[in-house]
Amino acid sequence: MQITARIEELRRLIRHHERCYFVLAAPEISDREFDLLMAELQDLERQHPELITPDSPTQRVGEAVSSFNTVKHRVPMMSIENSYSIADIVEWLQRLEKAAGTGVFPVVCELKIDGVSGSFCYRDGRLQNCATRGNGTEGDLITENARTIRSLPLTIESDLDMDVRGEIYTPKSMLDVLNQQRSADGEEPFKNCRNLTAGTIKSLDPAVAAQRGLQVMVYGIAQATELGFSHHSATLEFLAKQGFKLNQAWKRCQSYQEITEFIEEIAARRDSFDFDIDGIVIKIDNLSLQAELGSTNKAPRWAIAYKYPQERAMSRLLRVEWQTGRSQLTPVAHIDPVELGGTTVSRASLHNIDQIREKDIRLGDMVTVEKAGYIIPYIVAPAADKRDGSEQTIEPPTHCPSCQQPLKISRDENSATQIRCDNPSCQGVLARRIIHFITQIEIENFGPQLVEQLIEKEQVQGVEDILTLSRLQLAALERMGEKSAEKIVTGIENAAHQPLAKLISALGINNVGTVVSEKIATWYRQSFSAFLEATETDLVQIDGIKEKVAGSIIEFLKNPDNHSLINALKAWWKGPDSAQLAQMSAGSQLTGKTFVVTGEASMPRRQIEEQIKKYGGNVKSSVSPKTSYLLIGSQENDSFVSNKKSRAIELKIPIIDEFELARMLEMKIENGKFTG
């Protein structure tokens, strides 16, 4: 089979199996078989970059961006009027029937998913751009992040020019997985699916979005009437055939009784769905009637949302436990056990001392507890009218519950109160820091229970002490044999060869995660000693690193409390072996350089951009003072005019072509390809 044909066949197979898995929830092959198909496609595209297309399944994750542009919606994304009782729904329908001069007409009832609304523009069968709802008239362009969503097709069979509307959400199961990892890292868990979705879709780095498992369920087409559809239900059936994910629970109802039964049926099944829903959206099915009814300035008259009451219960607040984390203490309420959402709840989040004070929550209060999709329930408010005078004000602790040392109470840049233990020997803080370190540096067979045991036996007093643990020390612990001790020591030795990015991430510096660590490691060419000499001036030159992040890094490096760990790491960390290092540094000639590519060249623009990225450079879409080079394709002559060229001349930015790029890389261009 010819290469081009095999690539197209692989793309077709991968798209089919993505739809089976992410849309239909009916996989036909194993994960391993899918991964083998993807690996083959990636390998072929790597060998033949000229055959890469934007809609290939391998191109879902794009480059990080510095900010989000806005786009005007071709059809406004209006909000929907809310109702809170069946009587409201009946009254709404009767009002519309009277206005239309007809009897009861069919409606479509759909689940109201609690996520982030999005508009997905398709032209000629390809996904062109994606945007958030924003203010309804214009929203933020989130195309790069949306492309990472596996249930959103990059191509469809239809060539209609249309804006598909849908809800972006995080499955509950994915939230559980992510929070298990965050807990292991000593990080604050994500509060709920909606907040996680909103934060992820606005991440500046698509790689972050790709790791968060976002999904999309679509619910309509903005231009349905203009495209020839007569009923909303018909658009849903059309979208399903095009490979979009719809919630299969939608139903066409033709009476008040059917609507009521549907609302009650979904309420009973609400907890069984792997996504949060907060109501039912009811829409007139006939699109001509929708157009006749029209809209107000804020909402369509032909739709209404029924909102379910939140899951709440009353209980008594017995005590507050202050938990020691890696960065600060957080309050957890212990309450009388109460049934909530099918589970027995005895603990609930109080978020922080500021919320406790703002809501005037007191010990002994009867409090309202709400689940509302949160990983653990939280205290909504106290029932002040039920107080008998015995309640007590909740005061923040003055001493750490783990080490009994005085706590430091301060305010951050947002004026939020922070309570933290600055004792470097605190066992609670130490445990969280060690767990974060071993997770990020990937020391195998080293779990949280072992960390707690080592701290309890005073075998470790700092993160650096785990680096020199001996087989003899480990074997002496309870439930620890010689073979287990051997595996752990081997894991520590192997971790010393991890890339610099993982070492930096393991340090636990505020505002420095895996993505930032990768950028820093590339900038400093995998040199830990060079990183240790970093200055704030150097750091802010790295793409995507702002003053706040740079400040956190410098503060960590200068803090004397961290010098013992840093010195231990200098002796312990070996870095990747020569073969790994050669592979990593082979593409570093353009590190720190930012390119903008425009004009017609002797090869596809994507091929030039891939070459720049391969050798450590960044590619941006517009010229700015941070641009290193503007690359204008060699097929353009001196009379070539563009805004990018004018801007580059104004900023005195060097202008090159693809042949000059090749010379920078000590390569040649032959037959439309980089060689040598």
Q: Which of 433, 405, 435, 401 is nearest to 329 (CA)?
A: 401
The structure tokens listed for 389 are 């005078």
- Residue 560: DSSP 8-state: G
d(CA 644, CA 646): 5
The catalytic residues are 112
* Distance of alpha carbon 230 from the chain centroid: 37
Token pair listed for 452: 């707690």
The pair phi, psi for residue 405, each rounded to 5°, is -80, 155
Distance CA 624, CA 620 (A): 9
In angstroms, rounded to a whole number, what is the distance separating the alpha carbons of residues 242 and 603? 33
**Integer Cα distance of 407 and 421 in angstroms:** 5
Handedness of CA 659, 661, 663, 669 (dihedral sign): negative
The dihedral through the CA atoms of 134, 174, 212, 15 has a sign that is negative
Euclidean distance between CA atoms 220 and 215, whole angstroms: 16
Q: Please state, in angstroms and rounded to a whole number, the distance separating the CA atoms of residues 240 and 248.
A: 10
* CB neighbour list of residue 488: distance below 8 Å, 6 or more residues apart: 443, 444, 445, 446, 450, 469, 474
Distance between CA atoms of 600 and 400, rounded to whole angstroms?
64
Cα 528–Cα 432–Cα 203 angle in degrees, nearest 5: 70
What b/e readout covers 655-673, taking b as 16+ CB neighbours within 10 angstroms?
ebbbeebbebbebebeeee
CA distance 646 to 598: 12
Paired tokens of 489: 């020591």
DSSP state of 406: B
> 467 CB contacts (<8 Å, ≥6 apart)?
492, 568, 569, 572
Cα–Cα distance between 584 and 592 in angstroms, integer? 15
Tell me if residue 422 falls in helix, strand or coil. coil
DSSP characters for 89-101?
A: HHHHHHHHHHHHT
Nearest partner of 419 among 511, 350, 513, judged by Cα: 350
